[in-house]
């Protein structure tokens, strides 16, 4: 039997839950479907299980898209302050870490419970373990699943992107978009570790400034068995394309040339590696510096080393792929969507929100804020 609703939201992640909640608050009969056995799986693992639920500094400039202006409307209409207000209403304790990142004091489960409680309060019908097979449209939309068919005036694509397939991520939203003749931009892993041959110093971490094109980020870099990770690398990975060079300043607070020549004068009998270990992790210092006393180093060789430390440049061999990517770059083309409502311009009643859309935020709560903002504006419109 075909069960009728006003709105069917496909996907029970951050964006889908927010959209369903807001549509329900407006008196809509809402069905939320998810193929997993429980909703909010990516919320639950985020922020080390504490959910980096937004960023105090969320702003349009922190989002990548073929249309950099697209996110402005949604981000302005439902802001990080609105979401913080919701978190406070539910008495969820939180704290701010570096760079405006906000985390639960307790568990990410509190955020999922908050959203489910809000949905329950307005009668949203949440159904899990429903595999969606097709979406069609005649007068109304029909959503076909392995548990029967559902009809609705509006359908919202909120099934996310391709990142972390072991969590159930698929390209379903993109497939449905293409079925309805919406363009999908090229997708690739973002906020992802980079692969390249590096010294055998896995586990070494340090504060750096990483640059790719005009993007630059001052955060931690981590050496891994396969290459480089850490927040600074994850951030620039979203801007990196195969064949491009990345430049890293390993000593962002230091005039390396002056430091090395000054130590040659004041500590001539010290090993170069010992001197470098004053300002770099010891294992990294040993891998970067040749053996020898400071007194035996020519000034021009110290300058060459200083330049390497200040502008270590490399071309990654690749990334660790969607399995390790926090988000998917690219997605449903924003040119085909209304920035005010997230509705498809040529398919009335079809909406796309969250990671399924070609809007990707920086690391640190920005992608959650896009989920809340895009979900809320769609919930206002359906």
**What band does 31 get if pLDDT is binned at 50, 70 and 90?**
very high
What is the domain partition of the chain in residue ranges? 3-186+331-381, 190-251+314-319, 256-309
Task: Identify the CATH homologous superfamily for domain 3-186+331-381.
Answer: FAD/NAD(P)-binding domain (3.50.50.60)
Confidence of residue 198 (pLDDT cuts 50, 70, 90): confident
Contacts of 19 (CB under 8 A, 6+ apart): 9, 156, 158, 351, 353, 375, 376, 378, 379, 382
The sign one gets for the Cα dihedral 283, 285, 291, 292 is negative
Query: Residue 60 in 3-state DSSP?
Result: helix
First to last CA, the chain: 24
Q: What percent of the chain has pLDDT over 90?
A: 96
Residues 6+ apart with CB under 8 A from 235: 191, 210, 215, 217, 219, 362, 363
Percent over 70 (pLDDT), the chain: 100
> What pLDDT score does 284 carry?
96
pLDDT band at 23 (very low <50, low <70, confident <90, very high): very high
pLDDT bin (cut points 50, 70, 90) of residue 199 is confident
pLDDT tens figures, 65-91: 999 999 999 999 999 999 999 999 999
Q: Quick check: 2 pLDDT over 90?
A: no
- The CATH number of 256-309 is 1.10.8.260
For the purposes of burial, counting CB atoms within 10 Å of the CB of 258, is it exposed (0-12), middle (13-18) or buried (19 or more)?
Answer: exposed
Contact between 352 and 157 (Cβ < 8 Å) = yes
| pLDDT per position as a tens digit, 106-117 | 999 999 999 999
Query: DSSP assignment of 249-283, as one string?
Result: ES-TTS-HHHHHHHHHHH-TTSBHHHHHTTTS-HH
Is residue 373 within 8 Å of 70, Cβ to Cβ?
no
Burial of residue 344 (CB within 10 Å: 0-12, 13-18, 19+) is: buried
Query: For all residues of the chain together, what is the average pLDDT?
Result: 97
Asked, colleague to colleague, whether 3-186+331-381 and 190-251+314-319 share their fold, the answer is no
Return the C-alpha torsion angle 357, 362, 363, 367, nearest 10: -30
**Angle CA 171–182–352, to nearest 5:** 65
Cα–Cα nearest to 7, from 123, 116, 130: 123
| Topology of domain 190-251+314-319, CATH | Elongation Factor Tu (Ef-tu); domain 3 (2.40.30)
Q: What radius of gyration do the chain's Cα atoms show? A: 24
Burial 206-226 (b: 16+ CB within 10 A, else e): bbbbbbbeeebbebbbbbbeb
367-378 pLDDT, tens per residue? 999 999 999 999
Cα angle 103, 107, 110; round to 5? 95
The pLDDT assigned to 304 comes to 96
The tokens for 158 are 């909120």
- Token pair 């608050």 is found at 25
pLDDT over 80 at 1, yes or no: no
**What is the arithmetic mean of pLDDT over 341-355?**
98
> pLDDT per residue over 115-169, tens digit each?
999 999 999 999 999 999 999 999 999 999 999 999 999 999 999 999 988 888 8
Residue-wise pLDDT for 214-268, tens only, equals 999 999 999 999 999 999 999 999 999 999 999 999 999 999 999 999 999 999 9
Query: b or e along 149-163 (b: 16 or more beta carbons within 10 Å of the residue's beta carbon)?
Result: ebbbbbbbbbbbbbb
Give the span between the Cα atoms of 107 and 29, in whole angstroms: 30
DSSP lists the bridge partners of residue 141 as 137, 152
């Amino acid at each position: 039997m075909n069960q009728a609703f006003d709105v069917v939201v496909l996907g029970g992640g951050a964006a889908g839950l927010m959209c369903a909640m807001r549509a329900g608050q407006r008196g809509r009969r809402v069905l939320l479907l998810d193929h997993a056995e429980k909703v909010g799986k990516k919320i639950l693992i985020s922020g080390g299980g504490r959910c980096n639920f937004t960023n105090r500094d969320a702003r349009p400039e922190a989002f990548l898209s073929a249309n950099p202006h697209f996110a402005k409307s949604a981000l302005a209409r439902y802001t990080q302050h609105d979401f913080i207000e919701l978190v406070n209403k539910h008495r969820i304790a939180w704290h701010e870490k570096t760079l405006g990142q906000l985390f639960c004091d307790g568990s990410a489960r509190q955020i999922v419970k908050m959203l489910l409680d809000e949905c329950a309060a307005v009668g949203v019908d949440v159904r899990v373990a429903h595999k969606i097979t097709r979406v069609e449209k005649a007068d109304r939309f029909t959503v076909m699943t392995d548990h029967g068919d559902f009809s609705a005036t509006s359908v919202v694509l909120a099934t996310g992107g391709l990142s972390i397939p072991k969590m159930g991520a698929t390209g379903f939203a993109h497939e449905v978009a293409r079925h309805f003749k919406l363009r999908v931009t090229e997708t690739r892993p973002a906020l992802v570790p980079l692969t390249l041959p590096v010294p055998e110093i896995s586990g070494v971490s340090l504060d750096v400034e990483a640059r790719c094109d005009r993007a630059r980020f001052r955060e931690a870099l981590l050496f891994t068995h396969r290459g480089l990770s850490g927040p600074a690398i994850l951030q620039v990975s979203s801007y990196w394309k195969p064949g491009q060079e990345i430049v890293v300043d390993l000593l962002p607070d230091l005039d390396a040339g002056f430091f090395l020549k000054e130590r040659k004068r004041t500590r001539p009998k010290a090993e170069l590696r010992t001197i470098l270990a004053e300002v770099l992790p010891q294992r990294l210092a040993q891998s970067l510096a040749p053996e020898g006393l400071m007194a035996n180093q020519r000034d021009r060789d110290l300058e060459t080393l200083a330049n390497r430390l200040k502008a270590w440049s490399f071309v990654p061999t690749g990334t660790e792929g969607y399995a390790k990517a926090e988000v998917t770059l690219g997605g449903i083309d924003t040119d085909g969507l209304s920035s005010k409502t997230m509705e498809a311009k040529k398919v009335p009643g079809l909406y796309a929100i969250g990671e399924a859309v070609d809007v990707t935020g920086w690391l640190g709560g920005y992608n959650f804020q896009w989920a809340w903002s895009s979900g809320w504006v769609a919930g206002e419109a359906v």
